Amino acid sequence: MKKKHKEESSRSAYLFMLPALIIYLSVIVFPIFYSLYISFHSGTGIGMMKFVGLQNYVAMGSDPVFWQSLVHTLIWIALTVCITMPVSLLFAVLLNKYMPGRTFFRGLFYFPSIIAIVAVGIIWRWIYNPQLGIINSFLKLIGSSYRQTWIAKPDTVLIAVFFASLWQGIGQPMILFLAGLQSVDPQTLEAADIDGANGVQKFFRVTIPLMKDTFVMVLCTLVISAMKVYDIVKALTDGGPNNASQMLATYMYNQTFAYNNVGYGTAIAIVMVLIMMIVIVPYLIFTARENDGRKAK
Partner 1 sequence: MKNRFRKVLTTAMAGTLAAGMLAGCGSGSGGSQTADTAAAADTAAAESTTSAAGGDDLVSKMKVDYDGEPVQLTFWYLSTRSNSQAICDAWNAANPDIQVKVSLYDTDGIKDACKTAAQSNSMPSMWFNWGGSLGQYYVDNGLTYDLTQYAKDNDWESKFNSGALSLVNLGGQVSGYPTSYNVIGMFYRKDIFEQYGIEAPTTMDEFDAACAKLKESGVTPITTGGLNGWHPMRLIEQFIEYYAGADEHDKLQALDESWDTDAVVKGLAKYQEYCQNGYFPDGFVTASPDDTKMAIETGTCAMDIQGQWYDAAVNTDGFDASNLGWFPFPNGTKRMSAFAEMTQFNKNLSDDELKAAMLFTEKWFSDDVSTVYPDDFNLPLPYQGAEIADPDHQPHVMDMLNYSSENGTFTITDQALPSECADVLFSGQDAIANGQSTPEEVAKNVEASIESYKAK
In the list 39, 84, 172, 207, the residue contacting partner 1 (rule: CB under 8 A) is 172
- How far apart are alpha carbons 202 and 192 in whole angstroms? 7
Q: What's the CA gap between 166 and 57, in Å, rounded?
A: 32
Provide the minimum distance between the beta carbon of 264 and partner 1 in the complex, in angstroms, as a whole number: 10
78 lines the binding site for partner 1 (CB under 8 A): no
> How far is CA 165 from each of CA 13, 37, 49, 120, 252, rounded to the nearest angstrom?
43, 34, 37, 8, 20
Site for partner 1 in 98-137 (CB under 8 A): 110, 113-119, 125, 128-132
The binder of partner 1 chosen from 77, 95, 176, 268 (CB under 8 A): 176
Greatest CA separation for the chain: 88
Peptide bond into 154 cis (omega under 30): no
Binding partner 1 (rule: CB under 8 A), the pick from 258, 277, 281, 285 is 258
As a three-state string, the secondary structure of 93-139 is: HHHHCCCCCHHHHHHHHHHHHHCCHHHHHHHHHHHCCCCCCHHHHHH
* Site membership for partner 1, residue 228 (CB under 8 A): no
Q: How far is the CB of 95 from partner 1 (least distance, A)?
A: 13
Q: Mutual orientation of helices 157-169 and 117-127 as an angle, nearest 10°?
A: 130
Closest CB 124 distance from partner 1, rounded Å: 11
Q: H helices within the chain, ranges in order? A: 2-24, 30-38, 55-61, 64-79, 85-96, 102-110, 117-127, 134-141, 157-169, 171-182, 186-194, 199-202, 208-210, 212-227, 231-236, 248-253, 262-296
Query: Nearer to partner 1 by C-beta: 70 or 175?
Result: 175
Q: Which is nearer to partner 1, 75 or 152 (CB)?
A: 152
Question: CB of residue 258 vs partner 1: minimum separation in angstroms?
Answer: 5
CB closer to partner 1 out of 132 and 141 = 132
Query: 138-167 mask for partner 1 (x: CB under 8 A)?
Result: ---------x-x-xxxx--x----------
Q: Is 8 in the site for partner 1 (CB under 8 A)?
A: no
Which residue from 9, 12, 44, 144 is in contact with partner 1, where contact means CB under 8 A?
44
Interaction site with partner 1 (CB under 8 A): 42, 44-47, 110, 113-119, 125, 128-132, 147, 149, 151-154, 157, 171-172, 175-176, 178-180, 182-183, 185, 231, 234, 236-238, 240-244, 253-254, 256-262
